[in-house]
Amino acid sequence: MSTETTDVDMANSWPVQYLQDHTVHIAVVLLFVAYPFVYDILVDLFALTAEMVLPEPRTMLTILALGLFAMSFDFISGYTGYLSFGHGAFFGIGAYFVVLGYNGQIPLLPAELPFMMLMLMGALAAALFALVVGLLAFRLSGVYFAMITLGIAEIMYVVSQHWDYLTVDDSDPATGTAAGSPSDVELFEPVIGIPFIDPLNATVHPAFGETTFLGINFGDPVIVTYFAIGSIVLICYFLMQRIIHSPFGRVMIAIRENEQRAKAIGYNVFYYKIGAFMISAFFGAIGGALLIVINGTASPDTTLFFLVTGFALVATIIGGLGTLAGPLFGYIFLEGVEEFLARKASGGGLQPWLQEILPGSVLNASVSGVTVDEGMNAFMTGHGEFYTGIIFVVFVLFVPIGMLGTLRARLGADSVADWATTRIEKFRTESESEAGVEPPASETDPEPESDSD
């Protein structure tokens, strides 16, 4: 066997092909892995300039949790065409299940179970609830389906504000409940339950050894939680992606494109819709459970309120409906806008940057009795949601397929990963051609015709 043939065989081996097909995914994962360390380096070098444009690592925790929830929303809404306006109900179930389970308020479950166990049980509970809701809601379609899901979520929201079972120590259910005594909320650290990390405690277990390596303190609760949450979100993303690219997912897309035709060729679309709804609820509940990792508390306003689903919808539209990864990038964009217009104490922003670089004479200059500094306070700081609304309207009017959808259209590919794979394959083929390496016969020669009929 010649050396050239061996090189070609290695280039076409499955590990190389797999890495080639997932080049974009690997690059994105590495970018997220490096982010907290790159953030610290850039802030040390550029101070407020870096803080102005980059979300804090703690903000990224929220982005990852809410991004997973938005992806679960896109799973059902973007790939079947059924808008689940009450999707926040599943988010709330995941969050409350972790808190109530940790406090020992769920029958037959002991208190302080490991977080991962509570998270999975909460996700299963949400999936079963989605089955019940789906059996009712999927008998309708369009706006009627959306209104039924929204109505059920609003019923849960109102009930959660007055149901004492959802609290501890006779506190007001409308203000939420904490993992542990309400008096200990401020002591609650970011939480995750994975090997070498105590259940519901972000402190690295001594069995893992030293927490500092090459000068980086991996014992920092934010950093530990960032990687733990990131790992869960990554696994959930690939599971949803695998389902979408399976025969089940193809039927989901067929339902979105033409439900009557899918039904006419023999698919029981009702069962497929129920299954997709349960899967999306499962992953949406995991997103809610991860919120408890960050905040330690669950309240009706942060989990079951209809705007929780509303922000997921906004992130999905901006990122790209029917792209799965798009909602996560949409949330990054939205949170970036929030921090860009925040005060320094809230994570940097444009105003403190301008206050630092502009001379006092400019800041104190008066226009119609209002100084420049007062004008920035009035129109810039703390108005992220106002400008987010404007951005949303702009996207709906001019970028209806979102950032990732537009990028795919510009590249002329079904996905960015497919485009990258095609480019890499083309580059490799050209390199082999210039080197005089002949491709395998299977790639150049047609199959010989069989003598048999």
| Predicted confidence (pLDDT) per residue in 93-141, tens digit | 999 998 888 888 888 888 778 788 889 999 999 999 999 999 999 988 8
Residue 108's contacts (CB-CB under 8 Å, 6 or more residues apart) are none
Rounded-to-integer distance, Cα 91 and Cα 290, Å: 10
Rounded-to-integer distance, Cα 165 and Cα 146, Å: 29
Rounded-to-integer distance, Cα 349 and Cα 341, Å: 5
Rounded-to-integer distance, Cα 341 and Cα 428, Å: 45
The Cα angle at residue 365 between residues 360 and 371, in degrees rounded to 5: 105
Q: What tokens appear for 216 in the block? A: 């980086």
Q: Is residue 341 part of a domain?
A: no
Work out the pLDDT band at 53, boundaries 50, 70, 90: confident
The Cα angle at residue 298 between residues 296 and 300, in degrees rounded to 5: 160
Secondary structure (DSSP) of 275-317: HHHHHHHHHHHHHHHHHHHHHSEE-HHHHTSHHHHHHHHHHHH
Instruction: Quick: pLDDT tens for 249-298.
Output: 999 999 999 999 999 999 999 999 999 999 999 999 999 999 888 887 88
What is the reported pLDDT for 278?
97
The domain containing residue 238 runs over which residues?
A: 57-325
Q: Is residue 351 part of a domain?
A: no
Q: Is residue 155 part of a domain?
A: yes
- Per-residue pLDDT at 181 exceeds 60: no
- Nearest to 218, CA basis, from 197, 200, 236, 237: 197
Q: Is residue 118 part of a domain?
A: yes
* pTM for this predicted structure: 0.84
Q: Is residue 277 part of a domain?
A: yes
What's the number of domains the chain is made of? 1
What is the reported pLDDT for 411?
85
Work out the pLDDT band at 450, boundaries 50, 70, 90: very low
Q: Is residue 83 part of a domain?
A: yes
Q: Is residue 151 part of a domain?
A: yes
Instruction: Quick: pLDDT tens for 150-175.
Output: 999 999 999 998 888 888 766 778 87
| 340-357 average pLDDT score | 70
What is the reported pLDDT for 141?
84
Rounded-to-integer distance, Cα 35 and Cα 55, Å: 10
Q: Is residue 310 part of a domain?
A: yes
CATH number at residue 288: 1.10.3470
